[in-house]
Amino acid sequence: MKFGLLGSGSWGTALAKLLTTNRNEINWWLRSDENIISFKSRRHNPQYLRSAIFDVGLINFSSDPVKVITDSDVILVAVPSAFVTDAFSGIKKDAFRNKKIVSAVKGIIPDKNMLLNEFLHKEYKVALKDYFTVLGPCHAEEVASEKLSYLTFSGVDSKQTREIAECFATPYLKTLYNTDIYGAQYAAILKNIYAIGAGMAHGLEYGDNFLSVLIANSADEMAGFLRKQLGQQVEVGSLIQKATTHNQKRTVTNYAASVYLGDLLVTCYSLYSRNRTFGNMIGKGYSVASAQLEMNMVAEGYNASRCIHTTNQKVKAEIPIADTVYRILWEGLHPVKGFEHIESILV
């Protein structure tokens, strides 16, 4: 199978490195012809992860996303969620016919309040059987420097999911797979919100003891949201499907797995985490606008906090930590006041 990559940021670059390390030829969309020329001559992305050197003979660059899609069997989408609508604006409605989509998007499309699979189904009639996700506790910087990491691929068809996952497996990247497309995506969205909260706590000069309790409660809150939203049992440490009456089965998600709890932990603790960095600046007194300008990068949890707040009007899960982060970012609640409330509800 030939992969086409939409997205040339740090995460897209890291995924391209995995594919080309395994000698997979890829088609790669870069917006700028100037960046393509630079990449070909210097063998690295001129803007992100410059230490990652590529065999450019395996890469067909193009500034036309339609060409990348047309020439590929599997489309890997690594565009920040806030830019998905713009990136897909010139793509025809039948462009993804007979294509597989692998989403590396770690957020929810803010102007649609949709997961990527919902957006693709509505706009391009992409069936869920042709949609896969790749998520987990993998900072692009560590993948690029070949530090051992784990990624989880989710898809309806386990055989196809495993085949796609194997294309990314390297000695330093272990691949796992499951069928929990919705749960993995919502967990990735929520963990970014909680990471902003963890960053706020650091900026407000709370210590490690408090942070550990905050993250533990965030993990429980995430599981509660998934139970409500997905209608499935979420249990720490459970790996199997349990039979219920009338020969039906209920899904038991291993919430302690890397794509859920692991990704939450690394996003809350790591200095590589954009969301933690963004929250740290808010905790130190930066306005949202000034923090965004200072970072010059996308913190997915910012828009996600509003999207989850809206979604939860129907779900009605108990998510007081995520709600407080939302109120600080979008309603002007002072971080000190917000965390006084959080202190009162932690267990």
Task: State which CATH number among 1.10.1040.10, 2.60.40.10, 3.40.50.300, 3.40.50.150 fits the domain covering 182-345.
Answer: 1.10.1040.10
CATH class (in words) of the domain with range 3-179: alpha beta
Q: Which tens digit of pLDDT belongs to each residue from 260-311?
A: 999 999 999 998 899 999 999 999 999 999 998 888 777 899 999 999 999 9
Residue type, 320: P
Q: Which tens digit of pLDDT belongs to each residue from 193-202?
A: 999 999 999 9
Of the pLDDT bands very low, low, confident and very high (cuts 50, 70, 90), residue 35 is very high
pTM: 0.89
For helices 320-330 and 300-315, angle between their N-to-C axes, nearest 10 degrees:
130
Domain regions of the chain by residue span: 3-179, 182-345
Q: What is the pLDDT of residue 326?
A: 98
For helices 274-283 and 320-330, angle between their N-to-C axes, nearest 10 degrees:
70
Backbone angles phi, psi at 136, to 5 degrees: 145, 180
CB 312 within 8 A of CB 324: no
- In terms of Cβ atoms closer than 10 Å to its own Cβ (0-12, 13-18, 19+), residue 72 is buried
β-strand partners of 27: 4, 60
